[in-house]
Amino acid sequence: MALKHKDLLGLEYLDRDEIETILDTAVPMKEIFTRDIKKLPTLRGKTMVNLFYEPSTRTRTSFELAGKWMSADVTNIATSTSSVAKGESLKDTARTIEALGANFIVIRHQMAGAPHLVARTVRASVVNAGDGRHEHPTQALLDLFTIRERLGRIEGLKVAIVGDILHSRVARSNIWGLTKLGAHVTVCGPRTLIPPDVSRMGVEVTTSLDEALAGSDVVNVLRMQLERQKKGLFPSIREYSDLYGLTREKVKKCKPDVLILHPGPANLGVEITEEVAESPSAAVHQQVTNGVACRMAVLYLLSGGGKPGEVAA
């Protein structure tokens, strides 16, 4: 089945079937990595514009490769070099990009809801590549894909999300995706970085790392933005690392075959030690590879692919 939406603005707006369709579609997409010639004709003649209002290497490159491997024409707009620097509004920028013939607009923006504004303005398909602290749906999709690949299922798993939940779009998209697919989610971090009423999103909340890790199948470690300390949200990196840093010792609290995820880029030695990040339990690099496959699946399905009887790749 295809997606029921013009855009991918968040996992909040997708139902379980749609999420599973994307994950299923990403499986054949990943096979392309093993090929000598990484090219599918799927999006030939389509144009994709990456509109990034925040610096990003990982996500932007991943989208760029996803588009290129499916033969789309891809161009990147970084806002410091565009007319945005001259004060052009987001709406106007979106209209301009559409006038240039874009079929896909991939947007990363520091403010929640910015992709929604673009999606309302243009006919092109808008893909949210991270909006403020709201959502980062393709990151959560690649996390789900990686969990399924490594552990074979998502339903019934115990997943801990650790770190700055308040400011994390990765956390929100993961919460939507994981709970819709039947996982038990616990969020964990200092009280100052837990958003109010987050339990109403269907998760357990704890400030104790030991409690969060106990018996967990998956731990998703969030990046700690070091500048939060200046805003008085926690006293020091040292104490944060002491209370919430994932070390080899802490990992022992989890299930023996625990899977450790990190959206990157990691502050090694702060939220996770290098030893843990590079251990066989961690899937940090596998996540990056899977990211391209999931984004290919999203672009393919948004372009109208995935209708009954169609073969993905």
Partner 1 sequence: MRLLLKGGRVVDPRNGLDETRDVLIEGGKVLAVDATIDAEGVRTLGVEGKVVVPGLIDMHVHLREPGREDEETIESGTRAAARGGFVAVACMPNTNPPLDTGAAVRFVVSRARETGHVRVLPVGAITKGLAGAELAEAGELRRAGAVAVSDDGHPVMNSGIMRHAMEYACMFDLPIISHAEDAELSAGGAMNEGYWSTRLGLPGIPAAAEEAMVARDILLAGLTGARLHIAHVSTAGSVELVRRAKEKGVAVTCEATPHHFSLTDEAVAGYDTNTKVNPPLRCASDVEAVRRGLADGVIDAIASDHAPHTVEEKEVEYELAAFGMIGLETSLALAVTGLVRPGLLTLDQLVERMSCGPARILGLDWPGIVPGAEANITVIDPDASFLVDPAEFASLSRNTPFAGRRLFGKVAATIVAGKLAYEAPGVWPTR
Binding site for partner 1 (CB under 8 A): 12, 89-91, 109, 111-114, 116-117, 131-135, 169, 172, 195-198, 200-201
Which amino acid, residue 190?
A: P
Q: Which is nearer to partner 1, 222 or 297 (CB)?
A: 222
**Helix axis angle, 137-151 to 169-180, nearest 10°:** 50
CA distance 295 to 59: 10
Q: Which is nearer to partner 1, 179 or 286 (CB)?
A: 179
CA distance 185 to 216: 9
Strand 204-206 to strand 184-188: parallel, antiparallel, or no bridges (unpaired)? parallel
CA distance 184 to 202: 9
Q: Which is nearer to partner 1, 115 or 245 (CB)?
A: 115
Q: How far apart are CB 258 and partner 1 at their closest, in Å?
A: 27
Strand 104-109 to strand 47-52: parallel, antiparallel, or no bridges (unpaired)? parallel
Give 85-152 as a DSSP string.
Answer: GGT--HHHHHHHHHHTT-SEEEEEESSTTHHHHHHHH-SSEEEEEEETTTB-HHHHHHHHHHHHHHHS
Q: How far apart are CB 158 and partner 1 at their closest, in Å?
A: 22
Q: How far apart are CB 202 and partner 1 at their closest, in Å?
A: 11
Q: How far apart are CB 114 and partner 1 at their closest, in Å?
A: 5
Q: Which is nearer to partner 1, 108 or 133 (CB)?
A: 133
Q: Which is nearer to partner 1, 151 or 201 (CB)?
A: 201
Q: How far apart are CB 88 and partner 1 at their closest, in Å?
A: 11
Q: Of all helices (H) and strands (E), which one includes residue 160?
A: strand 158-162
Q: How far apart are CB 172 and partner 1 at their closest, in Å?
A: 6
Q: Which is nearer to partner 1, 82 or 279 (CB)?
A: 82
CA distance 152 to 267: 29
